[in-house]
Amino acid sequence: MCEPVYSELSSDSSYEKVVPDIIQKVKVVTVGDISVGKSSLAMRFTKGIFEDQYKPTVGAVFVFRQMNYGRRRIIFQIWDTAGQERFKSLVPMYLRDAKFALLVYDVTDMNSYEAIPSWLQYIHKYAPPDIQIALVANKIDLIQTKTVDSQVAQEFAKTNGVIFEEVSAKTGANVDKLFTRLAKILPMEKPETPPAKKKIPVNPKLYLHDDEPISLSKCCKIK
Ligand code: GTP
Ligand code: MG
């Protein structure tokens, strides 16, 4: 049984104790150019850590985190893909049954933003039609070197019907908020109903072909 949690939708003054009774697994895939911070975002969200040193992802890495949201315990299963061109052909495999794609760019790297339309096409080509996409502007802590305009990116997201969130994997700014937004739009799954218990008759009867049933208690005695 899960611990009681506070519903994230509740207002500060009227927290409501909610015991999550629905467990939902959801596949999230990170996509985007090299070094935009996809792995850092995944690590910040799942482990609460950040590393300054760049270690390019090879192929893809799987990480997960559970998050309580109202009645639901959502298990975000994150496939963090590699941005290097040589691994791009692997991305469709991860997108195939994904619920969410986090399309990440680096706010200090205009090239990574300019690559977004082609990544978007790539996602639409290989992901299920109902995939939800979030355009994620990462590294907002680097205010001095920011080159991608927030308004422009936001407009782009709106035009293309995707979520937009500005985050910093380094400071953690808006990272939980991003996943809470995903939780909010994730359709609620019906709780699994436990299988009905088989009723064992008190006086079981044997059926011999078309004959009349014979009561066990009358015909046999088991010692
Ligand atoms: P690939 O795996 O090669 O596709 O790269 P990636 O997109 O996973 O990037 P990664 O998370 O490895 O980060 C690349 C570099 O950016 C690392 O040196 C990180 O420390 C740095 N970085 C990531 N996120 C942030 C951030 O929010 N702020 C700052 N200042 N640096 C960041
Ligand atoms: Mg990576």
Per-residue pLDDT of the chain (223 residues; tens, 9 = 90+): 333 333 343 333 444 567 788 999 999 999 999 999 999 999 999 999 999 999 999 999 999 999 999 999 999 999 999 999 999 999 999 999 999 999 999 999 999 999 999 999 999 999 999 999 999 999 999 999 999 999 999 999 999 999 999 999 999 999 999 999 999 999 987 655 555 555 555 554 444 444 444 444 444 444 4
Residue partners of 27: CB distance under 8 A and separation at least 6? 77, 79, 97, 98, 99, 100
Report yes or no: 2 and 20 within 8 Å, Cβ to Cβ.
Answer: yes
Query: By the 8 A CB rule, do 101 and 129 touch?
Result: no
Q: Total structural domains in the chain?
A: 1
Instruction: Specify the ligand 1 atom closest to the Cα of 140.
Output: 27
Alpha helices in 59-144 (DSSP H): 91-95, 110-114, 116-126
- What's the 136 CA to ligand 1 centre distance in angstroms? 13
Which residue puts its alpha carbon closest to atom 30 of ligand 1? 139
* Largest separation between any pair of C-alpha atoms in the chain: 91
Distance CA 87, CA 118 (A): 16
Structural domain harbouring 157: 5-185
Q: Give a yes or no: residue 214 inside a domain.
A: no
pTM: 0.82
**Does 221 reside within a domain?**
no
CATH label of the domain that carries residue 109 = 3.40.50.300
Residue nearest to atom 4 of ligand 1 (CA): 83
Residue 52 maps to a domain: yes
Residue 216 within a domain: no
Q: Is residue 131 part of a domain?
A: yes
